Amino acid sequence: MVDAVVIGECMVELSLAGSDHAELGYAGDTFNTAVYLSRLGLSVDYATAVGRGDPFSAGILGLMARESLGRGLVVDAEGRLPGLYAIGRDERGERSFYYWRDQAPARDYLALVDRPALGRALAAAKLVYVSAITLAILRETGRQALTDSLAAAVRAGATLALDTNYRARLWPGPEAAREAIEPLARLAGYISTAEPDLEGLGLDPDGAVRRWAEPGCEVVLRRERREIEVVSRGGTETFAAEPPVTVVDTTGAGDAFNAGYLSARLGGASVAAAIATARRLAGAVVQHRGAIIPRAAMPGG
């Protein structure tokens, strides 16, 4: 049994450095979280689809191996290529994204994967992690199949963690995103969200967080003023904004934050200690280019 199964898409990443140069890497929101969960000591399987026989799929699988991510739930899709995205950054490290992913095999993951085997793996995991981006790329049929599989896993004892990571360009509109997210929010034991996500979805942040917490979920809300609230059925814990750090690139900061928080909570840490771990890791990530920082740059202690 692994500690966590993370479901999503790893893409080819082009990090733009001027008008005629880019650095090649591999990343994606759930993939970034999976890497950091693994680095923080959890056993992690990453569930996705890649191509077969091309250098980019080989690069993704090679990175998975180096980061000790299990590939038992990876599907190799003949004749397909992974999705690709490019990142541009302004002087403050804020990002602009450009995507080529419509034909990526990860979009058809639930149709390509051995569904019974996936169901068994999800049910046996301590934690299953997905994001709203996972839901967006799977499209309606895949989303329903995933929701059914996740519901069965939760009934079997797995804990679902959901990141509301809302990207408007991936959805026909906020209503479609809400309809996909709400069933998983009712299943989740942990939800990570932010005021811009909820406002983009057309939700009142306070109302949505209270509603999601009521069944027993632990909801981490990142406020725009950089405060963090952790809301549960037992009440709200508020953590004041910390002094800012020098920001080089914000790519992957939220993904790393989620990994730090979840790894600490799964290890028995208090909410306050988990927030401190999450902030420390996210603070290190924003001081480096790219979503996945060098191992040597990982914060210790």
pTM here is: 0.95
Residue type, position 125, single letter: A
* Greatest Cα-to-Cα distance within the chain, rounded to the nearest angstrom: 54
Q: Are 245 and 286 in contact (CB under 8 A)?
A: yes
CA distances 281 to 101, 119, 133, 291, Å, are 29, 31, 22, 12
Which of 3, 29, 163, 255 is labelled catalytic?
255
Q: pLDDT digits over 47-74, tens only?
A: 999 999 999 999 999 999 999 999 999 9
Q: Is 255 a catalytic residue?
A: yes
Q: Please determine, for residue 242, whether its predicted confidence score (pLDDT) is greater than 80.
A: yes
Tokens 């959890």, located at residue: 42
CA distance 156 to 177: 27
Q: At what angle do helices 29-39 and 132-156 cross, to 10 degrees?
A: 50
Three-state SS for 165? coil
pLDDT attached to residue 44:
98
The mean-pLDDT minimum among 12-16, 75-79, 271-275 falls in 12-16
Q: Which two tokens stand for residue 237?
A: 């814990």
Domains of the chain, earliest start first: 4-9+29-50+111-297 (3.40.1190.20)
Q: pLDDT digits over 12-45, tens only?
A: 988 887 667 888 899 999 999 999 999 999 999 9
Question: What does the angle CA 271 – CA 275 – CA 276 come to, to the nearest 5 degrees?
Answer: 120
Number of H helices, E strands in the chain: 10, 15
Q: Which of 299, 257, 262 is nearest to 278 (CA)?
A: 257
Q: At what angle do helices 174-187 and 132-156 cross, to 10 degrees?
A: 20
Q: Are 27 and 52 in contact (CB under 8 A)?
A: no
pLDDT attached to residue 93:
61
